Amino acid sequence: MTQKAAIIGGGVIGGGWAARFLLNGWDVAVFDTDPEAQRKIGEVIANARRSLPALYDKALPGEGTLSFHDDLTSAVANADWVQESIPERLGLKHKVLGGLSELAPGKAIIGSSTSGFKPSELNEKGARAIVAHPFNPVYLLPLVELVGDPVATQPAADILRDIGMFPLVLRKEIDAHIADRLLEAVWRESLWLVKDGVATTEEIDEAIRMAFGIRWAQMGLFETYRIAGGEAGMKHFMAQFGPALKWPWTKLMDVPEFTDELVDLIAGQSDAQSGHLSIRELERLRDDNLVGMIRALKKTGSGAGDVIATHEAALEHPSAPDLPVTAKRQIPQSWTDYNGHMNEAHYLEAAAAATDRFMEMIGADADYIASGKSYFTTENHIRYLDEMLAGEQLTITTQVLKGEGKKLHLFHMLHGDKGTITATAETFLLHVDLNTRSSCMPTDEVLEKLTAFAEKHAGLPMPEGAGRYVGQRS
Amino acid sequence: MTQKAAIIGGGVIGGGWAARFLLNGWDVAVFDTDPEAQRKIGEVIANARRSLPALYDKALPGEGTLSFHDDLTSAVANADWVQESIPERLGLKHKVLGGLSELAPGKAIIGSSTSGFKPSELNEKGARAIVAHPFNPVYLLPLVELVGDPVATQPAADILRDIGMFPLVLRKEIDAHIADRLLEAVWRESLWLVKDGVATTEEIDEAIRMAFGIRWAQMGLFETYRIAGGEAGMKHFMAQFGPALKWPWTKLMDVPEFTDELVDLIAGQSDAQSGHLSIRELERLRDDNLVGMIRALKKTGSGAGDVIATHEAALEHPSAPDLPVTAKRQIPQSWTDYNGHMNEAHYLEAAAAATDRFMEMIGADADYIASGKSYFTTENHIRYLDEMLAGEQLTITTQVLKGEGKKLHLFHMLHGDKGTITATAETFLLHVDLNTRSSCMPTDEVLEKLTAFAEKHAGLPMPEGAGRYVGQRS
Domains defined along chain B, listed by start: 4-177 (3.40.50.720), 184-283 (no CATH), 316-458 (3.10.129.10)
Query: Per-residue confidence at A342, pLDDT binned at 50, 70, 90?
Result: very high
Judge: A316–B61 Cβ closer than 8 Å, yes or no.
yes
Q: How far is CA B61 from CA A62, A316, B23, B80, B164, in A?
A: 50, 8, 7, 18, 12
Q: CB contact, 8 Å: A277 with chain B?
A: no
Any binding-site annotation on A292? no
Judge: B338–A382 Cβ closer than 8 Å, yes or no.
no
Cβ under 8 Å to B: A residues 366-405 = 366, 369, 374, 376-384, 387, 390-391, 393, 401-402
The tens place of each residue's pLDDT in chain B, 474 residues long, gives 799 999 999 889 999 999 999 999 999 999 999 999 999 999 999 999 989 999 999 899 999 999 999 999 999 999 999 999 999 999 999 999 999 999 999 999 999 999 999 999 999 999 999 999 999 999 999 999 999 999 999 999 999 999 999 999 999 999 999 999 999 999 999 999 999 999 999 999 999 999 999 999 999 999 998 988 876 778 888 877 777 777 777 878 787 888 888 888 988 899 899 989 988 899 999 999 999 999 999 999 999 999 999 999 999 888 777 899 999 999 998 899 999 999 999 999 999 999 999 999 999 999 999 999 999 999 999 999 999 999 999 999 999 999 999 999 999 999 999 889 999 999 999 999 999 999 999 999 999 999 999 999 999 999 999 999 998 887
Please give the Cα distance from B189 to B185 (Å, whole number): 6
CA distance B350 to chain A (A): 8
In chain B, what is the greatest distance between 2 CA atoms, to the nearest angstrom? 89
Q: 0.95 cut: is pTM over it?
A: no
Q: Which amino acid is at B2?
A: T
Query: Residue A434: its chain B contacts at CB < 8 A?
Result: 339-340
Judge: B142–A304 Cβ closer than 8 Å, yes or no.
yes
pLDDT at B65: 98
For A158, the closest chain B residue by CA position comes to B311
Any binding-site annotation on B229? no
Beta strands B66-69 and B143-147 are unpaired
Q: How far is CA A167 from CA A474, B174, B212, in A?
A: 55, 39, 15
Please give the Cα distance from B160 to B145 (Å, whole number): 11
Residue B7 neighbours by CB distance under 10 Å:
33
Q: CB contact, 8 Å: A300 with chain B?
A: yes
Please give the Cα distance from A297 to A412 (Å, whole number): 28
Which range (A130-139, A241-250, B338-347) has the least confidence?
A: A241-250
The residue ranking higher by pLDDT, A149 or B243, is A149
Please give the Cα distance from A460 to A361 (Å, whole number): 20
CA B120 to chain centre: 36
pLDDT at B10: 86
A175 has a pLDDT exceeding 90: yes
For B302, the closest chain A residue by CA position comes to A218
Any binding-site annotation on B14? yes
Residue B205 has its nearest CB partner, among A187, A203, A222, at A222
Q: CB contact, 8 Å: B74 with chain A?
A: no
Q: How far is CA B466 from CA A73, B237, B426, B429, B469, in A?
A: 60, 58, 7, 15, 9
For A182, the closest chain B residue by CA position comes to B186
Please give the Cα distance from B460 to B410 (Å, whole number): 13
Query: Residue B308: its chain A contacts at CB < 8 A?
Result: 55-56, 142, 164
DSSP summary character for residue A342: B
Q: CB contact, 8 Å: B277 with chain A?
A: no
Judge: A199–B170 Cβ closer than 8 Å, yes or no.
yes
Query: Per-residue confidence at A246, pLDDT binned at 50, 70, 90?
Result: confident
Q: CB contact, 8 Å: B299 with chain A?
A: yes
Size of interface A-B (CB pairs under 8 A): 648
∠ CA B376-B379-B385, rounded to 5°:
125
Query: Residue B272: its chain A contacts at CB < 8 A?
Result: 200, 202
Please give the Cα distance from B20 to B41 (Å, whole number): 12
pLDDT at B302: 95
Residue A217 has its nearest CB partner, among B115, B221, B303, at B303
The candidate with the shortest Cα–Cα distance to A320, out of A427, A459, A451, A419, is A419
CA distance A126 to chain B (A): 24
What is the mean predicted confidence (pLDDT) over A251-257?
A: 80
The dihedral over CA atoms of A4, A9, A15, A21, expressed in degrees to the nearest 10, equals -20
What is the mean predicted confidence (pLDDT) over A356-381?
A: 97
Residue B339 has its nearest CB partner, among A194, A346, A374, at A374
pLDDT at A230: 74
Residue B216 has its nearest CB partner, among A58, A209, A345, at A209
**Buried residues in A275-296 as b, exposed as e (16+ CB within 10 A):** eeeebeebbbbbbbbbbbbbbb
Residue A322 neighbours by CB distance under 10 Å:
10
Please give the Cα distance from B226 to B233 (Å, whole number): 5
A319 has a pLDDT exceeding 80: no
Burial of A429 (0-12, 13-18, 19+ CB in 10 A): buried
Any binding-site annotation on A12? yes
Q: How far is CA A164 from CA A49, A132, B162, B255, B310, in A?
A: 15, 15, 42, 37, 8
The candidate with the shortest Cα–Cα distance to B138, out of B55, B8, B2, B21, is B21
Q: CB contact, 8 Å: B294 with chain A?
A: yes
Phi, psi angles (nearest 5°) of residue B367 = -65, -40
Which range (A148-152, A314-318, A399-403, B316-320) has the least confidence?
A: B316-320
Is B432 in contact with B441 (CB distance < 8 Å)? no
Which range (A246-260, A447-461, B276-290, B424-438) has the least confidence?
A: A246-260
Judge: A178–B207 Cβ closer than 8 Å, yes or no.
yes
For A351, the closest chain B residue by CA position comes to B345
List strand residue ranges (DSSP E) for A40-100, in order: 66-69, 81-84
Query: Residue A430: its chain B contacts at CB < 8 A?
Result: none
Please give the Cα distance from B269 to A263 (Å, whole number): 40
Any binding-site annotation on B13? yes
Query: Residue B58: its chain A contacts at CB < 8 A?
Result: 312, 315, 317, 327-329
Burial of A402 (0-12, 13-18, 19+ CB in 10 A): middle
Cβ under 8 Å to A: B residues 21-40 = none
Q: CB contact, 8 Å: B12 with chain A?
A: yes
CA distance B320 to chain A (A): 14
Q: How many Cα atoms within 13 Å fall on the side-chain side of residue B436? A: 7
∠ CA A150-A151-A152, rounded to 5°:
85
Is B260 in contact with B266 (CB distance < 8 Å)? no
Q: At what angle do helices A344-361 and B344-361 cross, to 10 degrees?
A: 170
List strand residue ranges (DSSP E) for A296-420, in order: 325-330, 373-384, 393-404, 407-415
Query: Residue B218: its chain A contacts at CB < 8 A?
Result: 209, 213-214, 297, 300, 302-303
For B192, the closest chain A residue by CA position comes to A256
Judge: A467–B467 Cβ closer than 8 Å, yes or no.
no
The candidate with the shortest Cα–Cα distance to B346, out of A380, A432, A306, A385, is A380
Q: Which amino acid is at A360?
A: E
The candidate with the shortest Cα–Cα distance to A130, out of A114, A119, A138, A142, is A119
Judge: B343–A352 Cβ closer than 8 Å, yes or no.
yes
Q: Helix-strand-coil percent breakdown of chain B, rounded to 5?
A: 45, 20, 35
